[in-house]
Chain A
Amino acid sequence: MPTPDESRTARVGLFMALAAFLQAAETLFPTPVPWFRLGLGNALVLAALYLWDVREGVWVAIGKVLVGALVTGRLLSPGFFLAAGGTAASTAVMALLLHHHLAGKLPLGFVGVSVAGAAAHAFTQLLLAQIVFIKTPAIWSLAPVVGSAAVISGIITGLGAAYLSKVVSSTSTNLSSESNARL
């Protein structure tokens, strides 16, 4: 039987792969701003942050951006920097809302945390798009469209993360009780 540490490593690896898959699949979606992403892979980052800790969440985020860019051949392209910045911002916001000691006073559900992350993701991408790509504040006129899309995808990823966390945490308890029984 795998030790708890080994099974955690395996699960974090699986989450990274799933997040990278979503990241790559998302490039097929047409969006109003070239290289803009909805951030469906944030569901995996949020579930990792919730199930384990900030470190695991950051690993899944890195896997999502880096592996997702490698398989689509967009490493170091402008879209890669937008994705990296957006993911860094959303991971930071979600980690703060889940793990900061003040977060205990804010009884947010998965959807709330996820929408906050998605908003940070969209805002950072627009900001980076203005600085590196469009180079005029005109990009902000797209904010209502991009922001609504981000909020909707935040709700979907929040529900996904809640479901995933429930499934994974129930199978881990089964696993550990099983391995205890065999020992």
Chain B
Amino acid sequence: MRRSFSPLDLVVIGLALAAFVFLPSFFRGEGVADRIRIVSAEGERIVPLAGDREFSQKGPLGETVVEVRGGQIRILSSPCPSKLCIRMGSISDTGSTIICAPNRVALRLESGRTTSGGEDVDAYSR
């Protein structure tokens, strides 16, 4: 009879957790972030990261409100049920992303000088 739990299982659990924690960093780019790529059900647009302000992005569920302050962005309010996007907090690094999948809004910080990580976005969204 196979055991329900063997010590080797801890290795599997550790490897799986590590893989999922490090997955996002494979999709990060280089350079200083200076613009925000907004991907939504309406399409894609790019806005500058400079200038403190708030803006909203419409999605199937309603308005997702984004705050831009000091080179960081975060989601202030969202109509989605889990509010996971708000709990993702602020981001400031190139290639880092806040996503609200239920409202189909994704915010990705990009650098104008380097396109690494940005090109695959274009390939899919064209």
Stretch at the interface among B1-9, B45-53, B70-78: B1-9
**Nearest A residue to B11 by beta-carbon distance?**
A112
**Nearest A residue to B107 by beta-carbon distance?**
A138
**Nearest B residue to A131 by beta-carbon distance?**
B124
Q: How far is the CA of A143 from the CA of B19 in the complex (A)?
A: 9
Give the chain A neighbours of B117 by CB distance below 8 A. Answer: 137
Q: Which A residues are within 8 Å of any B CB, using their own CB?
A: 30-34, 50, 106-112, 115-116, 118-119, 122-123, 129-131, 134-148, 150-151, 154-155, 158-159, 162-163, 165-166, 169
Min Cβ gap B76→A in Å is 18
Give the chain A neighbours of B3 by CB distance below 8 A. Answer: 107, 109-110, 162
Task: Judge whether A151 and B16 touch: CB under 8 Å.
Answer: yes
Contact flag A135-B125 (CB < 8 Å), given A32-B82, A119-B19, A151-B13: yes
Task: Judge whether B124 and A136 touch: CB under 8 Å.
Answer: yes
Contact flag A109-B121 (CB < 8 Å), given A138-B108, A151-B13: no
- Cβ of B65 within 8 Å of any chain A Cβ, yes or no, is no
Min Cβ gap B42→A in Å is 13
